[in-house]
A = this chain, B = another copy of it.
Amino acid sequence: MSRPTLEFWYEFSSPYCYLTAKRLAELANERNVDVVWKPFLLGSIFKSQGREAPVTVPAKANYMWRDLERKSQKRGYPYRKPEGFPTFALMSARIGIVASGEPWEADFVKGIFELYFEQGQDISGTSPEAIFELLHRLELNVDDILARTAADEFKDKLRENTEAALALGIFGAPMFFAKGEMFWGDESLEDAIDFLLEA
């Protein structure tokens, strides 16, 4: 019997997606739910909606960093504020597309978030060493993965995800879809799963 499916729309530069990625695979497993991982580029969404990222409001940014610190501490995550925020995590997002449906997908996504939000590493692709190391740890062939990210079908897919996000009314991340209903924010993950499992 197939399990109910939760979509997790994520952007690697989003701190609240980090909070979700740290716990999603385990929680979904506990609750007998499958996850469809959907990378997209949130910066393009802001641009299309004609607005600035919320983090450009200083009061919001200050709050967000403190909130991240508190929540990470409470959950025991070794979070630290990333260098060079926000980042345009294009290489990571493209590999996220290649990872779709692969057995290493959940570990890869969590791994990239940990590189950026715990280890202060570059995830944009400008200094790709840390990304390559992660791929090695996952026993993947870096050259093979990179060749696939360069292929048009995968590049197009990231653009398509972002266009689909816009069309679906996505305005932030993390965003969850459960039976067609949209749930915004790490704090709404449990609500989304509850909704998915309601009769």
Residues of A within 8 A of B (CB): 49, 51, 57, 59-60, 62-63, 66-67, 70, 169-172, 181-182, 184-185, 187-188, 191, 195
Contacts and interface: CB of A to CB of B under 8 A. Distances in A.
A88 to B, nearest CB: 22
Nearest to A52: B51
A57 B187 CA distance: 21
Contacts of A66: 181-182
Contacts of A70: 181, 191, 195
23 contacts: A49-B57, A49-B59, A51-B57, A57-B171, A59-B169, A59-B170, A59-B171, A60-B171, A60-B172, A62-B169, A63-B169, A63-B171, A63-B182, A63-B184, A66-B181, A66-B182, A67-B184, A70-B181, A70-B191, A70-B195, A185-B187, A187-B187, A187-B188
A181 B74 CA distance: 15
Contacts of A181: 66, 70
Contacts of A172: 60
